[in-house]
């Protein structure tokens, strides 16, 4: 048995380290977005949120007219981005939207946070890319430098503390911190956000 | 009770996700700094520390003539920055100086460290921005990728290890690591740094 | 004894916070690489891996013709970089190659990972820079935002999970995560990668 049996592909010599699941048209769109982003998005002064919302919508994003996409936030694929009312993507956020990323109303994603909506199946010899959507709930806060992993839902009003590394769902109104992230407290005012009915 | 009672503001529909405590003149200054930074600071070759010190001082920073601000370090508001003798802000450091950030003499801040001098009061419906000053003591070292949170003092000669996430004060000459950061050892040579008198 | 005894150097007032072990020719080369990188490497569209391989080789890197250096990966010193067949340095990777960094065949380094091949001796009054080589084994995966410290070897087929902070060697086919990183599981398929003989 060849040493590399587990990673070579049937039908000949491997040409790529893993099967690229992203289609050609997807790659062309991303190339076009890359140019538009570098020339027309990232270069804009902070207050011009309206212009950046326009560019994001041009490439298929669903962006509320009150959303704040800051100029240095990176967005892999705008067509997979949904920004709710008053939601915010701060500078130096990396929104790796291989799968859909949805920010609820008033959701805040602070500087250097990484929303990473894909992983690889490392048990698969093909090292297949696995897109997994991310949801940041209404009024949730992803603080500075936090990492939100593929498939994660951060519940309504929840907080991922600075540099928290979140690989599992976060329950509504809980506060998580650390690497790996653990629940450290609960957000007060839950009753007020949710109303007495729940 | 409305579901959103806790986050709407008195007097009508909210216009911003939270009250922006930064004044108009502050925002204008930051806009001007943004242009100067992008065109004249970040683009300079590494050895030109003198030119970058000049630009920082022009915008109100207090910078020792032996300090080393590297070209790719980001500074939110130079007027809140104090760099002591032989202090260093490496490339890709993010100095989020919403509140004052003070580097002591010989303080070293390595690549990708994040000095984050503000947080939000997430229990406040206004999500108020809370500036909190940061102090990095003389001879302290904030290693690569470490995070220093709002209000934190890193004591004289202390070390925040690579990627340490520091949200509480670090005692002089201690070495902290991890997320959250914990004391892992003490720096030898303390007597030599401090002198026998203490 | 002066308070600063531990940090002043024999023979007069200190001119630098620590002895710079990098020679003048090294600094000139890095300056030249800095320009080439900024103008000709970082600005290129993603698919042009061949062009970027050419530039890296021009500055002394050993790069397999199937390797993928993405445009926004940063490389401190190409002459200390070795990229094996089908290896990959993703966007926003920081390859701080003060000492040699070697990627094995099919090694993947994902976005925002930091390969940090140097530290400082913080017990030395000179704060001496200590270059320490890094090796990423064949088929290993350094996932998004992970930190690989100076002197670390990530074994063949091993995985450093997202944001793992790795300061010790990782055994082949183990999966580590957290800060500090700990073994969390073993990669299946080990027998297939290694063959039955081991």
Alpha helix stretches (DSSP H) within chain A: 24-36, 49-58, 190-194
Length of chain A: 198
- Residue-wise pLDDT for C72-89, tens only, equals 999 999 999 999 999 999
The answer to whether C89 and C74 have CB atoms below 8 angstroms apart is: no
- The enclosing H or E element of C191 equals helix C190-194
What average pLDDT does chain B have?
A: 87
Q: What is the pLDDT of residue C144?
A: 98
Listing DSSP states for B125-160 in one string gives TT--EEE--EEE-TT-EE-TT-EE-TT-EEPTT-EE
In the predicted model, is pLDDT for residue C192 greater than 70? Answer: no
A108 touches chain B (CB under 8 A): yes
Angle value at C-alpha C37, between C34 and C41, nearest 5 degrees: 180
Catalytic residue among B68, B112, B114, B120: B120
A5-19, A82-96, A154-168, B44-58: the lowest-pLDDT one? A5-19
Extract the tokens encoding B18. Answer: 């939270």
DSSP code string of B38-89: IIIITTS-TT-HHHHHHHHHHTT-EE-TT-EE-TT-EES-GGGEEE-TT-EE
Residue A59 has pLDDT above 60, yes or no: yes
- Residues in a beta bridge with A133: none
Is the model's pLDDT at A150 over the cut of 90? yes
Residue C43's CB: how many other CB atoms inside 10 A?
10
pLDDT at C190: 47
Average pLDDT value for residue range A48-72: 98
- pLDDT exceeds cutoff 90 at B13: no
CB distance C116–B144 less than 8 Å?
Answer: yes
**Percent residues over pLDDT 70 in chain A:** 84
Asked if the Cβ–Cβ distance from A179 to B167 is below 8 Å, we say no
Instruction: Out of B6, B17, B180, name the one closest to residue A88 (CB).
Output: B17
pLDDT (0 to 100) of residue B22:
60
Task: Give dist(CA B162, CA B177) in Å, integer.
Answer: 7
Highest mean pLDDT (candidates A121-135, A182-196, B164-178)? B164-178
- Residue A24: per-residue pLDDT: 75
What lies within 8 Å, CB to CB, of A119 at 6+ separation is A129, A130, A132, A149, A150, C143, C162
Q: Which domains does chain B show, CATH number per domain?
A: 24-184 (2.160.10.10)
Is A5 within 8 Å of C86 when comparing Cβ atoms?
no
Q: Between A2 and C148, where is the model more confident?
A: C148
Render pLDDT for A90-133 as a digit per residue (tens, 0 to 9): 999 999 999 999 999 999 999 999 999 999 999 988 899 999 99
Backbone angles phi, psi at C141, to 5 degrees: -130, 120
Q: Which residues of C touch A179 (CB under 8 A)?
A: 163, 165, 178-179
Interchain contact, B106 vs C17, CB within 8 Å: yes
Residue that the structure tokens 């080589």 belong to: C133
Tell me, yes or no, if B116 comes closer than 8 A to chain A by beta carbon: yes
Nearest to B72 by CA among C133, C165, C76: C76
In this structure, are residues A94 and C112 in contact, taking their beta carbons and an 8 Å threshold? yes
Distance CA C144, CA A90 (A): 19
pLDDT of res. A21: 52
Global confidence as pTM = 0.87
- The string of DSSP codes covering C63-113 is E-TT-EE-TT-EES-GGGEEE-TT-EE-TT-EEE-SS-EEE-TT-EE-TT-
Beta-bridged to residue B82, according to DSSP, are: B62, B102
pLDDT score, position A110: 98
How far is residue A157 from each of residues A145, B125, C181, C195, measured CA to CA in Å?
18, 11, 30, 50
Query: Interface pTM (ipTM) of the complex?
Result: 0.84
Question: Is residue B150 pLDDT above 80, yes or no?
Answer: yes
């Amino acid at each position: 048995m060849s040493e590399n049996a587990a990673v070579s592909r049937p039908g000949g010599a491997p040409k790529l380290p893993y099967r690229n699941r992203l289609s050609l048209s997807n790659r062309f769109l991303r190339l076009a977005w890359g140019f538009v982003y570098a020339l027309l998005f990232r270069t804009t002064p902070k207050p011009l949120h309206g212009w950046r919302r326009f560019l994001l919508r041009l490439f298929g994003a669903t962006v509320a007219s009150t959303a704040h996409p800051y100029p240095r936030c990176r967005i892999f694929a705008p067509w997979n981005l949904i920004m709710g009312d008053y939601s915010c993507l701060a500078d130096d956020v990396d929104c790796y939207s291989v799968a859909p990323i949805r920010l609820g109303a008033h959701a805040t994603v602070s500087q250097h946070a990484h929303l990473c909506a894909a992983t690889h199946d490392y048990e698969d010899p093909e090292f297949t890319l696995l897109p997994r959507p991310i949801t940041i709930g209404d009024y949730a806060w992803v603080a500075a430098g936090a990492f939100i992993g593929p498939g994660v839902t951060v519940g309504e009003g929840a907080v991922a503390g600075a540099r928290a590394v979140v690989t599992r769902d976060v329950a509504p109104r809980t506060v998580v911190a650390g690497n790996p992230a653990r629940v450290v407290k609960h957000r007060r005012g839950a009753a007020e956000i949710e109303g007495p009915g729940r």
